[in-house]
Amino acid sequence: MRDLPLPLALTARLSPVLVLACAGWALTSGPAASSDPGHKSAQRSQDARSPQDAGAASAPGPSAAAKTFTTAPAPCAALAEKTITSLVPGAKTAGKEIPSTDRSVRRTCSWNALKGYDYRWLDVTFEIMDSQAEAQKSYTERTTDKSGGGAVPGLGDAAYSVVNLTTEDKQQTREGLVLVRVSNALVSVDYNGSDFETKKAPGTDEINKGAIKAAREAVAALEDGRAKS
């Protein structure tokens, strides 16, 4: 069998680069005690607080907690070689990192190959947010936008997967998306495939399981530091 050229829609495929804005915050102390004699009673009540009460009042809130992850890891080192060869037959296991405007907050690695008539594409992206709250907000917005999927139990703090089928010029492509939140980081996987001989797409189960497998490895790499910067 001879290799066929990729459809224009696939060769023109671009990976978006997201520039994340970093926002800070400040903690302020409570109001200063008034020297007005009319406020002496309130001042005595404030002075009588226990050390535990004082500590609780000065403790930073959840939004001020230190970030669990401060930089995006190297995405091309996130997956095992056997996983890449299994999900993207014929692809170079080293992958190709997509240029980013700020590699400390967003990094993506891509693998793709056409073996015979079977085409597969896999992207793994790490994004670092300023806080858990910001990561949760982005996670909620993106999973709401990609409706029709479901939760993935036991993966990160929250995980969601969805599979969609598209058809262009009678050629089917099935795409699986997995988004995972781990503290203040987001891990996303995009896995899709086509058969250019039959013009059919791989099954939903194959694409969904492949995307989830890649997501589990990427999350493990993020958490244990195997994907080094």
Note the pLDDT of residue 3: 45
CA dist 181 and 68 (Å) reads 12
Q: 133 Cβ partners below 8 Å, 6+ apart?
A: 62, 63
- pLDDT tens string 98-153: 998 898 899 999 999 999 999 999 999 999 999 999 999 999 999 999 889 999 99
Note the pLDDT of residue 13: 47
- pLDDT tens string 154-208: 999 999 999 999 999 999 999 999 999 999 999 999 999 999 999 999 999 999 9
